């Protein structure tokens, strides 16, 4: 069985990727420092604890498992924090990625799937965002991801590192078997915050900004089911194995939902009221981010079959009710 090194494999998206990789016939090797990930989420292959900035540790893991590819999810990802502490994001995300890329090349592991973000595009209202759209990140999180994309291009040119980059939109939902799910401390994502409020685990959801130039005044985002998302990553790995070259793909549905629309759908799915309060805008938040690309569908054969708002909320609610990770 071929091994794939999954950085951040103890996190939300990374753990779902590990399950999808195992189902596709690969052995996922999780590499995580457990700063934001959970040991309980590592269920589908070996676990190696370490920090991406520790080159010696990376070399040990590459030598021990001899992965054929890397899936790189590990990153700090809170937009607000990246605005207040940008150095933390450049140090962790960029420095860690440089170390990882150098270790992969040194080990001869020349296939690399990178988890990027639509935040590299910045705030471009009324613009159809595709892979050729200009990148104007407005926060250090998006800027750090764009920098890693640039590094991948350079490593590809210098060493022949083959790579697929996925820029994706808001990720939601959970594993349909409720084995793994979305759990952050502190929690910053809309749907789990909303489910906490529905369940009485927090007093109320805060809507950050109600004066955006949208139909109901709240931000609009394109939501993708986490299982659809990781299916695309497996397809990206197969793309590289087939020698099809370096490629960038947006992963979105092309449909955007406002915060108020998500609240209303959650009320319908859970049959419970959503307590909320209105607050000011957060620094670094864009008005609208929606994908206009069909490249992943046309070239990868990717079909986001689970990415309806009711399905994403229902799966997240099922996971929410089973409990959370303990360590």
pLDDT tens figures, 126-172: 677 899 999 999 899 999 999 999 999 999 999 999 999 999 989 99
The C-alpha atoms of residue 16 and residue 177 are separated, in whole angstroms, by 11
The C-alpha atoms of residue 120 and residue 148 are separated, in whole angstroms, by 11
In the prediction, which pLDDT does 76 show?
87
In a domain, 71, yes or no: yes
pLDDT reading at 326 higher than 80:
no
Strands (E) in 203-300, as ranges, are: 205-208, 220-225, 247-251, 256-258, 276-279, 288-289
Same domain, 161 and 243: yes
List phi, psi (to 5°) of 297. Answer: -70, -45
In a domain, 214, yes or no: yes
Same domain, 112 and 195: no
Same domain, 142 and 241: yes
Same domain, 228 and 217: no
* Res. 323 pLDDT band, cuts 50 70 90: low
pTM given for the model? 0.94
In a domain, 136, yes or no: yes
Tokens of 327: 């360590």
Same domain, 237 and 303: no
Give the residue, 236 or 168, on which the prediction is more confident: 236
Same domain, 83 and 155: yes
In the prediction, which pLDDT does 149 show?
98
Indicate the residue among 203, 232, 251 that finishes a domain.
Answer: 251
* Res. 189 pLDDT band, cuts 50 70 90: confident
Same domain, 160 and 217: no
Beta bridge partners of 162: 111
Domain region containing 287: 190-221+254-322
* Res. 281 pLDDT band, cuts 50 70 90: very high
pLDDT reading at 37 higher than 90:
yes
How does strand 162-168 pair with strand 47-49? unpaired
Supply the CATH number for residue 312's domain. 3.90.25.10
Lowest mean pLDDT segment, chosen from 16-25, 60-69, 273-282? 273-282
Tokens of 286: 């864009």
In a domain, 327, yes or no: no
In the prediction, which pLDDT does 283 show?
77
Q: How many structural domains comprise the chain?
A: 2
In the prediction, which pLDDT does 180 show?
95
Output b/e per residue, 172-208; b: 16+ Cβ within 10 A.
Answer: bbbbeebebbbbbeeeebbbbbbbbbbeeeeeebbbb
Mean pLDDT computed over 94-117: 97
Averaged confidence pLDDT in the chain: 93
Strand, helix or coil at 314? Answer: helix
Which residues are the active-site residues?
141
Cα distance between the two ends of the chain: 29
pLDDT reading at 20 higher than 80:
yes
Mean pLDDT computed over 11-37: 97
Same domain, 73 and 157: yes
Same domain, 8 and 44: yes
In the prediction, which pLDDT does 113 show?
98
Supply the CATH number for residue 88's domain. 3.40.50.720
In a domain, 265, yes or no: yes
Same domain, 235 and 266: no
Give the torsion sign (CA, 29, 32, 37, 39): positive
Strands (E) in 211-275, as ranges, are: 220-225, 247-251, 256-258
* Res. 47 pLDDT band, cuts 50 70 90: very high
The C-alpha atoms of residue 313 and residue 6 are separated, in whole angstroms, by 26
Same domain, 111 and 198: no
Helix/strand/coil percentages in the chain, nearest 5: 40, 20, 40
In the prediction, which pLDDT does 287 show?
86
In a domain, 279, yes or no: yes
In a domain, 285, yes or no: yes
Distances (CA, A) of 122 to 112, 150, 188: 25, 16, 19
In a domain, 177, yes or no: no
Same domain, 214 and 227: no
List phi, psi (to 5°) of 31. Answer: -120, 115
């Amino acid at each position: 069985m071929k091994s794939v090194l999954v950085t951040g494999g103890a996190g939300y998206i990374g753990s779902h990727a590990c399950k999808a990789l195992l189902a596709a016939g690969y052995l996922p090797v999780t590499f995580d420092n457990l700063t934001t990930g959970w040991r309980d989420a590592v269920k589908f292959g070996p676990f190696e604890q370490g920090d991406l900035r520790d080159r010696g540790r990376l070399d040990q893991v590459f030598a021990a498992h001899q992965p054929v590819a890397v899936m790189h999810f590990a990153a700090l990802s809170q937009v607000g924090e990246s605005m207040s502490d940008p150095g933390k994001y450049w140090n962790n995300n960029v420095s860690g990625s440089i170390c990882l890329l150098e270790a992969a090349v040194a080990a001869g592991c020349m296939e690399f799937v990178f988890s990027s973000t639509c935040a590299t595009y910045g705030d471009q209202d009324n613009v159809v965002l595709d892979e050729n759209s200009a990148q104007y990140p407005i926060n250090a999180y998006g800027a750090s991801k764009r920098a890693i994309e640039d590094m991948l291009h350079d490593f590809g040119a210098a060493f022949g590192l083959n790579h697929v980059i996925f820029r994706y939109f808001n990720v939601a939902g959970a594993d349909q078997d409720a084995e793994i799910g979305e759990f952050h401390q502190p929690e910053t994502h809309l749907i789990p915050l909303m489910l906490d409020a529905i369940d009485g685990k927090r007093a109320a959801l805060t809507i950050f900004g109600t004066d955006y130039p949208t139909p109901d005044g709240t931000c609009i985002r394109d939501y993708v089911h986490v299982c659809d998302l990781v299916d695309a990553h497996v397809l990206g790995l197969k793309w590289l194995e087939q020698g099809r070259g370096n490629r960038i793909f947006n992963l979105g549905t092309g449909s955007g939902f406002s915060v108020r629309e998500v609240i209303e759908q959650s009320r319908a799915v859970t049959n419970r009221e959503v307590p909320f309060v209105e607050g000011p805008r957060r620094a670094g938040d864009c008005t609208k981010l929606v994908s206009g690309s069909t490249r992943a569908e046309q070239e990868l054969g990717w079909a986001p079959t689970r990415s309806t708002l009711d399905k994403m909320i229902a799966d997240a609610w099922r996971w929410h009710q089973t409990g959370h990770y303990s360590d």
